[in-house]
Amino acid sequence: SPMTSSNNAPEKAQSETSSRRGTNKKYLAFLLLILLLLTALSLHQQTTMTRSLLPSLSDSVVQQSFSGQSTFGEADLIIQRSFEQSYAHILPCKKSSWKAMDSRIAIDCMQQTRDHIMSQNITVPWWFQTLLRDILAGGGGVYVPWHHFYTTKPPFHFCTVGKVATTEWRKVFCKLNAQDCVDDSSSCRRGCTWKTTQKMPAKAPWAVFVRDPLERLLSGFLDKCYNPRTRKNQGHCEPNVVFNPKKPLMNAKNKTYANLLDSLDIEGQEKAMFGAYVDVLPLKWNVHFVPQAMFCDLHRNIDKYDFVGNMGKDFYFDLDRMANQFGGQLPEILNSTFGYKDHVMSGNHENTGKQGSGHAMHTPAKVARFYTARTVRSALEYLSIDYVMLGLQVPEWARQMLKEESSTIK
């Protein structure tokens, strides 16, 4: 009847409205699903594109660096995650930087990486952004000629890395090239030259020494930051606005920044002080703390080196191996500088460090005074490229420190 039809009309309209709403919700849910799938696909393609641009820093490299280890612990997970989020985005070089006397090629390649990351809006950790900024900046100290020493007596090239016995290696090459300063003193500075004036043989071998990154980091801190006078005189404990403000360093009101450490008594607070430094060091990367893999473009070329030594517990034995490999006057000069022969003859597998040096490493006692599990994690993150690309192993004391904290938390 007309009355019944009119009574059912609102119910029918309401039903149709509910049906449309249900359809709309399903449609919106479908669109949202499509959007999420497209986003995931886009992220996957971006990651794939970046990794395809960098075959030398692929997942296989990360896995290979840990392949010789019997266990895969927290330290390895930190290194792998950090590497994939940061250094794996470094682009390959179109031109080879190997044996290039000019560091311009390495600079241009790293600049391309920074430009690519910025133009593609690739998300990388903040400390990796500042690392690229600082090593490319004028005065960054990484891409400079004084990291390359060479001699003809015997003929070989050497990549020297900050905080890997650089002072001693300078002495070695001054002695190796001593005759150059006799023949032509104009090429020498204070009677010394690290680079021979003689023509180098085209096939002269290349050598380098590397060091555990965690111990190198602490050695740099002890050398450049721990002593207030050294902080003031050298200015290498950066950022100086925090650790060593000087008169030319003015704030917005044109007043000198206050020295935040002047009134602090840090005796017995070594862990807190070192932890504070590790937290802020990426605000301004100093050359003594930049990953070793950046020097001499080692992350691209270390597999081409004829000799790779490690400044670890077998340091003196590696010096002996180097002396035997290159010969000539090198054994005598290495021994006069490092005194390695007595250690080798006695079978002493302990690197006692430079005698009288406050920043020489005598682990594990010294690392226990300064490191905590938290600083170990941060350092492994910053320096992951050294473990991946230079084939270095995380020291057992660091693994143990992480295990002990984890067991305490549980």
What DSSP line would sit under 140-183, residue for residue?
Answer: -SSSSGGGEEEEETTEEEEE--TTSSHHHHHHHHHHHTHHHHHH
Report the alpha-carbon distance of residue 343 to residue 350 in Å, rounded: 8
DSSP 81: H
Q: Is 207:302 a contact under the CB 8 Å cutoff? A: no
**Percent of the residues in the chain that have a pLDDT greater than 90, as a whole number:** 56
Report the alpha-carbon distance of residue 153 to residue 323 in Å, rounded: 12
Predicted pLDDT of residue 349: 75
pTM of this structure:
0.79
Q: What is the pLDDT of residues 226-254, one digit of tens each?
A: 888 888 888 889 888 788 766 566 777 87
Q: Is 205:306 a contact under the CB 8 Å cutoff? A: yes
Residue 321 phi, psi (nearest 5) = -65, -40
Residues 386-409, mean pLDDT to the nearest whole number: 92
Q: What is the pLDDT of residues 291-331, one digit of tens each?
A: 999 999 999 999 999 999 999 999 999 999 999 999 999 99
Higher pLDDT, 66 or 336: 336
Q: Which of 131-145, 183-197, 205-219 shows the lowest mean pLDDT across its residues?
A: 183-197
pLDDT band at 43 (very low <50, low <70, confident <90, very high): very low
Residue 261 to residues 238, 246, 249, 266, 273, Cα–Cα distance (Å): 13, 13, 16, 9, 10
Residue 184 to residues 101, 151, 189, Cα–Cα distance (Å): 22, 15, 11
Residues 6+ apart with CB under 8 A from 223: 163, 230, 288, 358, 359
Q: Is 360:354 a contact under the CB 8 Å cutoff? A: yes
